[in-house]
A and B are shown apart, each in its own frame.
Chain A
Amino acid sequence: MLEIKDLHARIGDKEILKGATLIVNPGEVHAIMGPNGAGKSTLANVLSGHAGYTVTAGTATLDGVDILSLTPEERACRGLFLGFQYPVEVSGVSNLVLLKAAVNARHKFRGEPEANAVQLLAKVRERAKQVEIDAKMLSRGVNEGFSGGEKKRNEILQMLVLEPRLAILDETDSGLDIDALKVVANGINALRSPERSTVLVTHYQRLLDYVKPDYVHVLAAGKIVKSGGPELALELEQRGYGWLEEAA
Chain B
Amino acid sequence: MSTKATATGAPLESWRRLFDETVASLPGDAAQRRRQLERFMATGFPPKKGVEHWRYTDVTALARTAYAVAQRDKAPSFRRLPDTDYLVFVNGHGVEGDAARHGLREVADSEHGNIVALNAAFASDGLRLELAPGKRLERPLYVVDYRSGEAPSTSHLRHRITLGDNAEATVILDSRGDGHYFGTAVLEAKLGAGAHLHLYRIQEAAAGATDLATSFVSVGRDAAFEAYSFDLGSGLARHDFNVTLAAHGADVKVHALTVADQRTHVDNQVKVEHAAPHGRSRIDFRGIAGGRAKVIFDGLILVDRGATKTDSDQRIANLLLSSRAEVNAKPELEIYNDDVRCDHGAATGQLDPVQLFYLRSRGIDEMTARELLTLAFVSTVLETVPNEPLREMLRERVGQRLQAALAAEAPAEASA
**Which residues of A are in contact with B by a Cβ distance under 8 Å?**
48-51, 70-73, 75-77, 81-82, 84, 87-88, 90-93, 97-98, 101-102, 105-106, 109, 141-142, 158, 162
CB pair A90–B373 under 8 Å, yes or no, is yes
Bound Cα distance from A154 to B361, whole angstroms = 15
CB pair A50–B372 under 8 Å, yes or no, is no
Q: Among the listed B353, B368, B376, B380, which residue makes an inter-chain contact with A90, where contact means beta carbons less than 8 Å apart?
A: B376
- Which single residue of chain B is at the shortest CB-CB distance from A69? B416
A-B contacts, 5 listed (Cβ < 8 Å): A73-B363, A75-B361, A93-B375, A98-B362, A98-B364
Q: Please, how many residues of chain B have a CB less than 8 angstroms from a CB on the other chain? A: 24
B96 within 8 A of A: no
Q: Among the listed A92, A93, A106, which residue makes an inter-chain contact with B380, where contact means beta carbons less than 8 Å apart?
A: A92
Bound Cα distance from A110 to B355, whole angstroms = 25
CB-CB under 8 A from A76, the residues of chain B are 360-363
CB pair B379–A105 under 8 Å, yes or no, is no
B357 within 8 A of A: yes
- Which single residue of chain B is at the shortest CB-CB distance from A143? B358
CB-CB under 8 A from A77, the residues of chain B are 363
Per-position contact with A for B181-210: 1 when CB-CB < 8 Å, else 0? 000000000000000000000000000000
Given contacts A71-B365, A92-B376, A93-B375, 4 further A-B contacts (CB under 8 A): A101-B372, A102-B364, A106-B363, A162-B362
| Nearest-Cβ distance from residue A5 to partner chain B, whole angstroms | 21
CB pair A72–B361 under 8 Å, yes or no, is yes
Bound Cα distance from A76 to B357, whole angstroms = 11
CB-CB under 8 A from A158, the residues of chain B are 362
CB pair A73–B366 under 8 Å, yes or no, is yes
B107 within 8 A of A: no
- Which single residue of chain A is at the shortest CB-CB distance from B365? A73
CB-CB under 8 A from B369, the residues of chain A are 73
| Nearest-Cβ distance from residue B63 to partner chain A, whole angstroms | 43
| Nearest-Cβ distance from residue A216 to partner chain B, whole angstroms | 25
Please report which residues of chain B, range 333-365, place their CB below 8 angstroms from some CB of chain A when the two chains form the complex: 353-355, 357-365
CB-CB under 8 A from B380, the residues of chain A are 92
Per-position contact with A for B307-332: 1 when CB-CB < 8 Å, else 0? 00000000000000000000000000
Q: Nearest 8 CB-CB pairs, A to B?
A: A92-B376, A76-B363, A88-B358, A102-B362, A105-B363, A72-B360, A92-B379, A71-B416
Bound Cα distance from A106 to B363, whole angstroms = 7
B216 within 8 A of A: no
B19 within 8 A of A: no
CB pair A48–B361 under 8 Å, yes or no, is yes
**Which residues of B are in contact with A by a Cβ distance under 8 Å?**
353-355, 357-366, 368-369, 372-373, 375-377, 379-380, 415-416
Q: Among the listed B355, B360, B415, which residue makes an inter-chain contact with A73, where contact means beta carbons less than 8 Å apart?
A: B360
CB pair B359–A98 under 8 Å, yes or no, is yes
| Nearest-Cβ distance from residue B368 to partner chain A, whole angstroms | 6
CB-CB under 8 A from B416, the residues of chain A are 49, 51, 70-72
| Nearest-Cβ distance from residue B86 to partner chain A, whole angstroms | 32
CB pair A109–B355 under 8 Å, yes or no, is no
CB-CB under 8 A from B373, the residues of chain A are 90, 92-93
CB-CB under 8 A from A141, the residues of chain B are 376
Q: Among the listed A93, A106, A162, which residue makes an inter-chain contact with B372, where contact means beta carbons less than 8 Å apart?
A: A93
Q: Among the listed A82, A97, A106, which residue makes an inter-chain contact with B361, where contact means beta carbons less than 8 Å apart?
A: A82
| Nearest-Cβ distance from residue A83 to partner chain B, whole angstroms | 10
- Which single residue of chain A is at the shortest CB-CB distance from B374? A92
Bound Cα distance from A202 to B375, whole angstroms = 35
- Which single residue of chain A is at the shortest CB-CB distance from B415? A51
| Nearest-Cβ distance from residue A101 to partner chain B, whole angstroms | 5
CB-CB under 8 A from A72, the residues of chain B are 357, 360-361, 416
Bound Cα distance from A109 to B362, whole angstroms = 13
CB-CB under 8 A from A81, the residues of chain B are 361
| Nearest-Cβ distance from residue B354 to partner chain A, whole angstroms | 6
**Most A C-beta atoms less than 10 A away, residue of B362, B364, B377:** B362
CB-CB under 8 A from B376, the residues of chain A are 90-93, 141
| Nearest-Cβ distance from residue B343 to partner chain A, whole angstroms | 21
CB pair A90–B361 under 8 Å, yes or no, is no
CB pair A49–B377 under 8 Å, yes or no, is no
CB-CB under 8 A from B377, the residues of chain A are 92
Bound Cα distance from A162 to B361, whole angstroms = 12
- Which single residue of chain B is at the shortest CB-CB distance from A107? B363
Q: Among the listed B359, B363, B368, which residue makes an inter-chain contact with A109, where contact means beta carbons less than 8 Å apart?
A: B363
CB pair B354–A97 under 8 Å, yes or no, is no
CB-CB under 8 A from A142, the residues of chain B are 358
Bound Cα distance from A105 to B363, whole angstroms = 6
| Nearest-Cβ distance from residue A53 to partner chain B, whole angstroms | 11
Given contacts A51-B416, A71-B416, A90-B376, contact A101 B361 (CB under 8 A): no
Bound Cα distance from A105 to B359, whole angstroms = 11
Q: Among the listed A51, A90, A106, which residue makes an inter-chain contact with B358, where contact means beta carbons less than 8 Å apart?
A: A90
| Nearest-Cβ distance from residue B178 to partner chain A, whole angstroms | 33
CB pair B358–A162 under 8 Å, yes or no, is no
**Most B C-beta atoms less than 10 A away, residue of A48, A84, A88, A141:** A88
